[in-house]
Every structure is written in C-alpha cells, then in structure tokens.
Amino acid sequence: MKEAKNLIIGFGKAGKTLASFLAKKGEKTILVEKSNLMYGGTCINAACIPSKSLEYSSRESNRLGGNYEDRSARYQKAIEDKEALTTLLRKKNFDMVVNAGVEMIDGLASFVDEHTVDIKDNSGNHETIKADRIFINTGSTPITPPIEGLKDNSYVFTSETLMSNPTLPKKLTIIGGGFIGLEFASYYANFGSKVTIIQDGSTIIPREDQEVAKSVELSFNI
C-alpha cells in the first residue's frame, strides 16, 4: 500500500493548483487522473480553451467565405489547430505539477474507506493508496437529455465530442439555447453550417434579463 499526506482525485484547475501548492510545502502529494487527455481539466481540454480557439477560427472563415469545400477545409484545419493547442497545454500542466514534486498516477479512483482509495489503471491493474487527506476534484461532464433515439446514435454529439469531429456538418441542430449551445451555434454558423436551435421555453438564455436575451436573438437573426 502506498501512503501520502494528500491525495487529489482529478487534474482540473483546482486539483493541479492545490497539488502543486501542497507539494511545494514538502507534503507528500499524489494526483490521480483517469484520462491522460484531461491533464489540466475541463477548461483546457473540453470547454473554454478549445471552444474559443474554434470561435476565433470561425470568424476568419466567415470573413473569407467560399463554398462548402473551402469552409470544410478551414474547419478541419481549425480542429487540428485546436488539438495542437490543447496538447501543448496538457503537457505544460503535466510538467508543472511533476516539477513541483507531485506524484502523478493515471487511473480510475474509487473509495475503499474514508482514507483509502483503490486505483484501477487502463490495463486493469489495481493499486491502493492511503492518505491523511483526500480531495475530490472530478470536474464536469456533458448531459444527454433522456430523449428516445439520442443514446448511441452516431449522428448525435455532445459539446465535447463535436469539437473533435473533423467533418463540418452541413446542417446542425442544437438542443438547448443556453450559453454553451449559443456559442456552438455561433461558430458553426460562421463556418457555414445551417444551424437550428431547439429551446424548451419562449426565449433563449432564460436566466438572463429579457433585454439581454432579446439582443442576442437579434444578433443571431432568430
């Protein structure tokens, strides 16, 4: 059994910052992440950074115009640029915590008791870690609505999987008129997709003031 002062489950913003801070204090700290594609957390790999990269590229593509083939080629290049950016940031984040003295383990964590965690790696091997303090920083995941036909449908994407799809959809239907849905609608429309938004309610971004929602509707030509 491996022992540590601190065990942090999840390599997100809070987890990596806390791990580095504690390790630099001289405390034995272990950071566990189930996927090496999520070093740095949701923002870097599946949300803020990649989405803003695509938004930036989409504006340039919209300015240049062209037919579907032209836009599709620029979209594929934008996906490649986004992947290169997130790969670079993952490495920087990994190096940051390791250089701070954190022990990094890839695997899926599950509790044995309040101070003991079992780690299962991708090969199915198990390792037990006992820690004085355990911090949970497991992040977020997209939610698929319970609508018949959505599950295991190759034409259905989440916000995360769509940003890894190298093929520009000619038509795209987005379920949900919140911030994330509208962001995706904006840059896919800029790339040239015909976008439809389905919103459960009378207005988009319903938690905002109606003046704000109306201004967004006008900018989208809804």
Length of the chain: 222
Residues of the chain with pLDDT under 70: 222
Place of tokens 């594929």: 76
| pLDDT tens per residue across span 92-147 | 999 999 999 999 999 999 999 999 999 999 899 999 999 999 999 998 888 888 99
Query: pLDDT value at position 145?
Result: 87
Query: pLDDT value at position 141?
Result: 81
Burial of 83 (0-12, 13-18, 19+ CB in 10 A): middle
Query: pLDDT value at position 222?
Result: 64
